[in-house]
């Protein structure tokens, strides 16, 4: 599944002991496995066989330029949700003809940037956005290639924060409005409606919600074609789940087989936007134990990474396994792994039976490759962690640990407030 494994009781990333990286880079740090990234992409790609398709990695799940490059080298496209992500995609050398752009709040500036780059598809999420895009494209004398993001009202059976395809969610155009909005799109001079898009949520562990969604979309595509709206692209989004604890996630092969079965002979190029399934288990976060507070009920393992470094446990109550970097004999500790942040919600693991640990030990927070570093912040003025990519016995720091200077970068105190030697002496 991934290339983080023990050798003689020491945890390795591929061919490198994590202790060695910690010594050289300090803690906390994120560590990604090149072989795992490649393997996950290849498994996804292979499951689609000879069906015309494009796999666009979801940049928001892990946007490090080096990680993007690994996928681009494999022929991937990219799914972006902001101008900043488009900038990263271009900087990493993506072919704009393999970039799709989703998001409920695209600004004029972002539309201009994406039009200028000549991306493959705008995944448009509302009627007003469609009109705005028509206007912006017209001013630039361009035609915008568009897929409407359809909200199919399907329950993906996942955490409410990461459900996106229910009618109470802010995403997409309601299914029963879709035909009308396509007609409107067709009538607009600077809009070229060539696709249908949907994305129903994340960490989805059943294939059925995906199949049900495709069923609804397929019916729509047929109707659109009857009205000579030539749909070439079917973008089925991302959302396939992974194993964090003991969940059984359908492998990409099962997911693809179910979807291709439902697709039947519908002639379309399929687009997928996987994020988590490609990177989630290809990355870990390594942190050092600072103190152990033993209490009567439970103990607190205080480590040098917090919710600012990895917010998933605090934000969604998400489970991420915690492994010792050096295995040792002894009595297990029951308790929470907590960070230094001044919030009671600052924990990385709760109510666990943990391996024997002492101050100075390293632990790995597993399954941290997706929505890990990308959701990190500077809360409590903590510099964001370093990111390291390992390939075999090679390692590269692919993002430096931030410095205190980085943290205050761009801030200034207006002269009128800077007391001491300013002013007219009054």
Ligand X SMILES: *Cc1c(COP(=O)(O)O)cnc(C)c1O
420-426, Cβ contacts within 8 angstroms, sequence gap of 24 or more? none
What CA–CA distances, in Å, run from 268 to 66, 196, 207, 222? 31, 10, 20, 11
d(CA 16, CA 19): 9
CB nearer to ligand X: give 249 or 348: 249
d(CA 129, CA 116): 18
Whether cis (ω within 30° of 0) applies to the bond prior to 28 is yes
Name 358's Cβ contacts closer than 8 Å, sequence gap at least 6.
289, 292
Name 37's Cβ contacts closer than 8 Å, sequence gap at least 6.
67, 70, 71, 278, 279, 282
User: Is residue 303 classed as helix, strand or coil in its secondary structure?
Assistant: strand
d(CA 387, CA 396): 9
User: Is residue 115 classed as helix, strand or coil in its secondary structure?
Assistant: helix
CB nearer to ligand X: give 159 or 186: 159
CB of residue 26 vs ligand X: minimum separation in angstroms? 29
Backbone torsions φ then ψ of 265, nearest 5 degrees = -100, 15
* Residues forming the active site: 342
CB of residue 382 vs ligand X: minimum separation in angstroms? 25
CB nearer to ligand X: give 200 or 220: 200
CB of residue 100 vs ligand X: minimum separation in angstroms? 8
CB nearer to ligand X: give 271 or 325: 271
CB nearer to ligand X: give 48 or 102: 102
Residues lying near ligand X in the complex (CB under 6 A):
58, 60-61, 79, 81, 102, 199, 202, 237-240, 273-277, 370
Cα-based angle 383, 384, 388 (whole degrees, multiple of 5): 130
User: Is residue 12 classed as helix, strand or coil in its secondary structure?
Assistant: strand
User: Is residue 42 classed as helix, strand or coil in its secondary structure?
Assistant: helix
Q: Where are the beta strands (DSSP E) in 158-210?
A: 173-174, 191-197
Residue 416: other Cβ atoms inside 10 A: 8
The runs of H, that is alpha helices, within 264-378 are: 276-279, 312-316
The runs of H, that is alpha helices, within 291-374 are: 312-316
**Pair 236, 201: CB distance under 8 Å:** no
Whether cis (ω within 30° of 0) applies to the bond prior to 65 is no
CB of residue 316 vs ligand X: minimum separation in angstroms? 12
CB of residue 191 vs ligand X: minimum separation in angstroms? 19
CB of residue 250 vs ligand X: minimum separation in angstroms? 13
CB of residue 400 vs ligand X: minimum separation in angstroms? 26
CB of residue 412 vs ligand X: minimum separation in angstroms? 35
User: Is residue 54 classed as helix, strand or coil in its secondary structure?
Assistant: strand
């Amino acid at each position: 599944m991934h290339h983080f494994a023990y050798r003689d009781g020491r945890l390795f990333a591929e061919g490198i002991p994590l202790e060695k990286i910690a010594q050289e880079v300090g803690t906390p740090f994120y560590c990604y496995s090149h072989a795992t990234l490649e393997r996950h992409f290849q498994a996804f790609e292979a499951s689609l066989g000879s069906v015309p398709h494009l796999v666009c990695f979801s940049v928001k799940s892990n946007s490090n330029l080096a990680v993007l490059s690994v996928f681009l080298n494999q022929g991937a496209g990219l799914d972006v949700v902001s101008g900043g992500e488009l900038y990263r995609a271009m900087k990493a050398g993506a072919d704009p003809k393999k970039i799709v752009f989703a998001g409920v709040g695209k600004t004029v500036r972002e539309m201009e940037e994406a039009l200028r780059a000549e991306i493959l598809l705008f995944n448009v999420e509302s009627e007003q956005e469609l009109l705005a895009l028509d206007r912006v494209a017209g001013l630039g004398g361009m035609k915008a290639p568009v897929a409407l993001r359809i909200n199919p009202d399907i329950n993906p059976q996942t955490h409410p924060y990461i459900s996106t395809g229910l009618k109470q969610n802010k995403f997409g155009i309601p299914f029963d409005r879709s035909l009308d909005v396509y007609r409107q799109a067709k009538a607009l001079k600077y809009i070229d409606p060539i696709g249908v898009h949907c994305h129903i949520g994340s960490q989805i562990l059943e294939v059925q919600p995906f199949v049900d969604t495709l069923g609804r979309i397929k019916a729509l595509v047929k109707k659109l074609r009857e009205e000579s709206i030539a749909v070439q692209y079917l973008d089925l989004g991302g959302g396939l789940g992974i194993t964090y604890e003991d969940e059984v996630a359908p492998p990409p092969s099962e997911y693809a087989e179910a979807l291709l079965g439902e697709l039947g002979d519908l002639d379309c190029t399929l687009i997928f936007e996987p994020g988590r399934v490609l990177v989630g288990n290809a990355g870990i976060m390594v942190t050092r134990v600072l103190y152990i507070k033993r209490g009567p009920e439970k103990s607190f393992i205080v480590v040098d990474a917090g919710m600012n470094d990895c917010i998933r446990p605090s934000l969604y109550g998400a489970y991420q396994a915690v492994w010792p970097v050096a295995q040792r004999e002894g009595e297990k500790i029951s308790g929470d792994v907590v960070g230094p942040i001044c919030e009671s919600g600052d924990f990385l693991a709760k109510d666990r039976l943990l391996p024997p640990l002492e101050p100075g030990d390293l632990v790995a927070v597993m399954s941290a490759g997706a929505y890990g570093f990308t959701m990190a912040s500077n809360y409590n003025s903590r510099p964001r962690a370093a990111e390291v990519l390992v390939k075999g016995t090679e390692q590269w720091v692919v993002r430096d640990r931030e410095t205190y200077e980085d943290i205050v970068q761009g801030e200034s105190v207006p002269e009128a407030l800077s007391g001491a030697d300013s002013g007219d002496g009054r």
